Amino acid sequence: MYALGLDIGTTSLSGAAIDTATGRQLASATVPNDAALPGAEYERLQSPERLAELAGDVMSALAERLGGDPACIGVTGQMHGRLYYDAQGRSVSPLATWEDGRGAAARGGTTPARELSALTGYDMATGYGLTTCYCDMLDGAIPEGAAGMCTIADYLVMRLTGRRRALMHASSAASFGLYDLAARRFDRRALAAASLPAELLPETASGEVIAGETPSGVPVAAAIGDNQAGIYGAAGLGSDIVINIGTSSQLSVQADGIGAPEGLECRPYVGGRYIWLGAGLCGGSAMAELNALVRDVCRRAGCALDAGTAYALMEKAAEESRGADDIPEVSTLFRGTRENPALRGEIRGLAPGSLSVGKLGLGFYRGICAELRGFYDRLPEEMRSAGRLIVCGNAPRRSAALLGTIEESFGRKAVLSPRVEEAAAGAALIAARAANI
């Protein structure tokens, strides 16, 4: 038997099949996310229905490869983003992703995110589901037929099981904001202070549970946040520190309580535990900026490159530049931070010869790692030294230069996650746990 995990990512959708008896990964599949929709300034929108179709393609590919349906299904996906659905459980709005920037757009001397934070006493960043909902409320843009709102992963569970109302795991609920970690529920007082429509919020699940079944009787677990799923896929339950570099980047460690150090977030995890983490808005997306520059220069020189070829060129050049002493100092805060979205990246310390593809690439890698190292340094010493440093994500898996830079930045050995597509694998493992398989 195998458990199937689906990960609805920002730029791709992935699936992983896990043997329920051994925990061994049997297969994986990935398709590009082509569900982006045009939107107004600052909006970042995707089509929920297209995402559901793509998830179906991944499921079909794995079922065909493995010769049958899974024993259970787990779902994860990009956190924070919100979509609205009607009384029949079908979407009535696009997905506004975690990259949606309306919460940081200036209005009347402030921003919606700052205004919402002041009203509620919670730190609310742009892209959080309830920050985006607050923007919708200010604009009169909540769909008239909306009966609820949820994440894209919750919506896929609805589509798979026929549920008409979302059932949300604590990991996803907390990603919406205005969530009381100690009580493990949305803060109704804070919602009322901001006049937000509490009736649209979903029921929250108590732990890892089965949300329903497919028409053919396959149990489907309530969706879990992709950060938590990735940690579970890489490290299970334990004391390891986990770095994930995807479109964004995170450094996470498991904890038993909610008192995270200043500058780190606390999020619900699995089995009643929590994770303390630092979340950067730029990880792989910073490298995508450099990739775009390389392709633009080549195009203007009459030698067009696709993104994959450009990445391979960048990696080879970065590896050749390791050991150089004139690497530019790069801050990769191209999207700012959650606390200050207005911050921007910088390139400093340029010397003659510094502006090469390889040296810039290493500078970008160091910038990504420097932000993560800053989060690491906020952890108590006993947490920093208790477990391994596990690295997830396709970027470090494919880049010896990036993995080496992580080890140099942290001054310790880093090991790659034992599974590929860690978030999808983690969702599969959590579904098996919920289904007692």
Domains in the chain: ranges and CATH: 2-227+422-434 (3.30.420.40)
State the pLDDT at residue 334.
84
Residue 83 sits at φ, ψ, to 5 deg, of -135, 155
Tell me the β-bridge partners of 251: 243, 278
CB-CB contact of 156 with 8 (8 Å): yes
**What is the average pLDDT across 258-285?**
90
Q: Answer whether residue 338 shows pLDDT above 80.
A: no
State the pLDDT at residue 281.
80
Confidence of residue 335 (pLDDT cuts 50, 70, 90): confident
Confidence of residue 279 (pLDDT cuts 50, 70, 90): confident
Q: Answer whether residue 192 shows pLDDT above 90.
A: yes
CB atoms within 10 A of CB 206: 10
State the pLDDT at residue 257.
92
Confidence of residue 126 (pLDDT cuts 50, 70, 90): very high
pLDDT by residue (tens digit) across 352-384? 988 999 999 999 999 999 999 999 999 999 999
Gap between the Cα atoms of 430 and 111, Å rounded: 38
CB-CB contact of 3 with 16 (8 Å): no
pLDDT by residue (tens digit) across 70-99? 999 999 999 999 999 999 999 999 999 999
Q: Answer whether residue 434 shows pLDDT above 90.
A: yes
CB-CB contact of 151 with 175 (8 Å): yes
**End-to-end C-alpha distance for the chain, whole angstroms:** 9
273 φ/ψ sector (left φ>0, alpha ψ -120 to 50, else beta): beta
Return the axis-axis angle of helices 284-300 and 357-377, rounded to nearest 10°: 170
Q: Are strands 389-392 and 415-416 parallel, antiparallel or unpaired?
A: parallel
Give me 94's structure tokens. Answer: 């696009």
State the pLDDT at residue 283.
81
What global pTM score does this model have? 0.85
Give me 435's structure tokens. Answer: 């289904």
Of 70, 83, 95, 93, nearest in space to 6 by CA: 70
CA distances from 387 to 249, 295, 350 (A): 20, 40, 37
At residue 317's C-alpha, the angle toward residues 316 and 320, to 5°, is 90
Burial 374-399 (b: 16+ CB within 10 A, else e): ebbebbeeebbeeebbbbbbbbbbeb
State the pLDDT at residue 228.
94
Q: Answer whether residue 30 shows pLDDT above 90.
A: yes
Q: Answer whether residue 398 shows pLDDT above 90.
A: no
- CA 36 to chain CA centroid, Å, is 17
CB atoms within 10 A of CB 52: 18
Residue type, 387: G
Residue carrying the six token digits 């969706």: 223
Return the axis-axis angle of helices 307-321 and 284-300, rounded to nearest 10°: 100
**DSSP assignment of 245-305:** ESSSEEEEEEESSS-PPTT-EEEE-STT-EEEEEEES-SHHHHHHHHHHHHHHHHHTT---
**What is the average pLDDT across 414-423?**
90
Gap between the Cα atoms of 312 and 399, Å rounded: 9
State the pLDDT at residue 323.
85
Give me 167's structure tokens. Answer: 């059932």
Overall size of the chain counted in residues = 437
Confidence of residue 65 (pLDDT cuts 50, 70, 90): very high
Contacts of 35-44 with C-beta under 8 Å, sequence gap 24+, read 35/95, 37/94, 39/94, 41/105, 42/100, 42/101, 42/102, 42/104, 42/105, 43/96, 43/100, 43/101, 43/102, 44/96, 44/97, 44/99, 44/100, 44/101
State the pLDDT at residue 337.
79
Query: Which residues are CB-neighbours of 165 under 8 A, at least 6 positions away?
Result: 89, 147, 148, 158, 202, 203
